[in-house]
Chain A
């Protein structure tokens, strides 16, 4: 859900496409796609029911409340949207209202002058949402309003845990290692990880870094791109010793994250493994991967990433990320009103009722019906600090170099020190 999958990419991309797509020119000042001031183009990725129908209704309600304004809603699959947005940014012909994932990616768009500053126009909404907007701020200005922010943690099969005699989920890395041993002893494969897509493997390192490093170190790293603090190496060492317990599904180095029954999510959904580290999208992904459309159903459990003994990080801090509505620089002013409406109590409540994500407007918190998502919401709101996924926070270039290095650690071909070195090397290219 979160990123474009490998299989989808392979169909769409070839080196030829890469070249011709980038040949489309850079920075032509063609007008925004709205055409006139009364038509708003809105791209979103809720292309399945109930989300699709709900957003159509939202657009219709907005049109009614704002006579003369028309909203052109374009719903597409997530991967398609990411590809089309990339092409839109290249051509400068950006939709009026679209999704931003925040962090370095957003900072790049801001630097290129593609995104509108919402700090003044939506100050009320920004205040209401609170701390979550931090990921979408550049130089203290807010460029997008997050409408769904989730956290990453271990999703597990409660039935398999019971079968192995595990009553309480682990809270420290040592306990996690014991859990892995117990599950293995019961003849189960403990953990699945889609290391073939790299980012699922990288999430482990993000989390060990979040547990090993203090909030200050991490916040500084995002702006200074300096990874010299020893806690980053400690993070790799903690991860290395976890990998040493051989907890993963066979062939995990080429396992995809979410595509098909043999993907990491598929293995969890079909009861082949006991747990997987994943974000709030996981129940939805698992539902799509099972014939009955229920995923793990009542056997779905969740526990936060364990603490590292002696680590400087807060064990309550969570790794997460989300999606925010942004307005293109050249979009008509009514687009800002649409975004504000999308963050209103009313729309966010409907968003939550339809289980479309984890709403950021506190007024909608009680409307989440899915028990697993409701639990996540509690964890998220109790968290003192939510670290945006590192690859998003640092931007794709540094982020991908980091992910590549972590994937090598999973393969036993990189040391904790080398992860830091390779990340630093990519970061130095950005300076």
Chain B
């Protein structure tokens, strides 16, 4: 569902490159045969990707959209056409609207918490401090861990009574909720978010560090010679220069938060009392678990539209500056 969304910004790049190259060749005045050969080349290189995209992206999207108009249990012919009734049911379902809300809470919390934290760590790790390599590894390891494995480990750590976390917190006198962090509806989403931050902070730090490496040393030197403090150098030079990286990270984080599924499914399964449902867990519980494939289809179309609208809006409002600069 979301693949076309993530593919969108990247897809513009090769396309632009191809047209640019085509223009360049036209200027040099190649023969007709050359042009034809070039078209063939383009077709040859693009075709496999297009075929894959048609099979694994376009067709499923079409299929989900079609499914959303029927009442269908997952087998037998799809004949019970119900129009937009599934959409009415999805949008009127508190569980779904809550799930959308949870997705957006994660989207904004990620940006508000992980961005400053990631940036601070990246700036810190960009300095020459002892054990820098080790620290970088420690921060990046969670990102490399398989999501399911990390989820199961955290699930065990967070167990009430027997879990390690409670033992540690109890030992230093911090009170723990009676039902555990995951079992208390008011705390569950926050707990999931903390685990997600632990898991994905590494990616932010890695991207920001890579961006910071690209800032020329001369700029730092020049600023220092002019009497700028370390903080001023970061604030006025380094951060503005890695802004395109930050904007790309926000985009990735946003899409990831909208698709959020694995970690929630392992830690809480959407519970307790639907406190941590996301759009993706709603799809599974309505579709494969309850056999309401029409409703799940409608929900997946809504998820697609939300993801698509946000991606396009972000592209136009924010990312376009970066792609223009590059061109």
Contacts and interface: CB of A to CB of B under 8 A. Distances in A.
A18 interface: yes
Interface stretch (B45-53, B103-111, B249-257, B262-270): B262-270
A407 B293 contact: no
Interface stretch (A277-285, A364-372, A394-402): A394-402
Contacts of B160: 250-251
A65 interface: no
Contacts of A272: 162
A413 B185 contact: yes
B76 A407 contact: no
Interface string B132-170: 000000000000000010011000100111100000000
A116 interface: no
A27 interface: yes
A10 B265 contact: yes
B280 interface: yes
Interface stretch (B58-66, B114-122, B223-231): B58-66
A108 B80 CA distance: 14
B74 interface: yes
A26 B60 contact: no
A251 B259 CA distance: 27
Interface in A11-34: 11, 13-16, 18-20, 22-23, 26-27
A76 to B, nearest CB: 17
Interface in A73-94: 86, 89-90, 92
B159 A262 contact: yes
A252 interface: yes
B28 interface: no
B272 A411 contact: yes
A186 interface: no
Contacts of A177: none
A112 B178 CA distance: 48
Interface in A227-268: 250-256, 260, 262
Interface centre among A15, A23, A108 (most CB of B within 10 A): A15
A276 interface: no
A86 B292 contact: no
A18 B291 contact: no
Interface stretch (B193-201, B209-217, B281-289): B281-289
Contact of B1 (A19, A26, A399): A19
Contacts of B73: 108, 112, 397
A196 B269 contact: yes
B60 A23 contact: yes
A111 B180 contact: no
B74 A250 contact: no
A400 B183 contact: no
Contacts of B272: 195-196, 253-254, 411
Given A114-B76, A250-B161, A253-B179, A19 B265 contact: no
B241 to A, nearest CB: 37
Interface string A97-116: 00000000000110111100
B284 A112 contact: no
B288 A86 contact: yes
A26 B288 contact: no
Interface centre among A27, A108, A252, A254 (most CB of B within 10 A): A254
B87 interface: no
Interface residues of A, number: 53
B60 A16 contact: yes
* Majority secondary structure, A binding face: helix
A397 B74 CA distance: 12
A251 B95 CA distance: 22
B67 interface: yes
A52 interface: no
B232 interface: no
Interface centre among B152, B274, B288, B296 (most CB of A within 10 A): B288
Nearest to A85: B75
Contacts of B290: 396-397, 399-401
A15 B179 contact: no
A26 B78 CA distance: 7
B180 A396 contact: no
B293 A196 contact: no
B60 A112 contact: no
A166 interface: no
A9 B266 CA distance: 10
Contact of B182 (A15, A251, A401, A413): A251
A407 B273 contact: yes
A250 B59 contact: no
Nearest to A114: B75
Nearest to B179: A251
Contact of B284 (A15, A198, A254, A407): A15
B277 to A, nearest CB: 10
A89 B74 contact: yes
Contacts of A18: 283-284, 287-288, 296, 300
A11 B292 CA distance: 21
Contacts of B96: none
A138 interface: no
A254 B269 contact: yes
Contact of B67 (A22, A92, A109, A397): A22
Nearest to A94: B75
Given A23-B59, A408-B273, A397 B292 contact: yes
Contacts of B188: 254
B271 interface: yes
A185 B156 CA distance: 28
A197 B273 contact: no
A412 B178 CA distance: 15
A89 B75 contact: yes
Given A90-B74, A408-B273, A253 B183 contact: yes
A397 B148 CA distance: 28
Closest 3 pairs between A and B when the two form their complex, measured CB to CB: A112-B76, A253-B272, A411-B273
11 contacts: A14-B262, A14-B280, A16-B1, A20-B60, A92-B75, A196-B271, A250-B160, A253-B183, A253-B272, A396-B289, A396-B290
Interface of B: 1, 3, 56, 59-61, 63-64, 67, 72-78, 89, 95, 148, 151-152, 156, 159-162, 178-180, 182-183, 185, 188, 259, 261-262, 265-269, 271-274, 280, 283-285, 287-293, 296-297, 300, 303
Given A26-B75, A108-B75, A429-B89, 10 more contacts: A13-B284, A16-B60, A23-B60, A27-B78, A260-B156, A399-B290, A404-B285, A411-B273, A413-B185, A413-B273
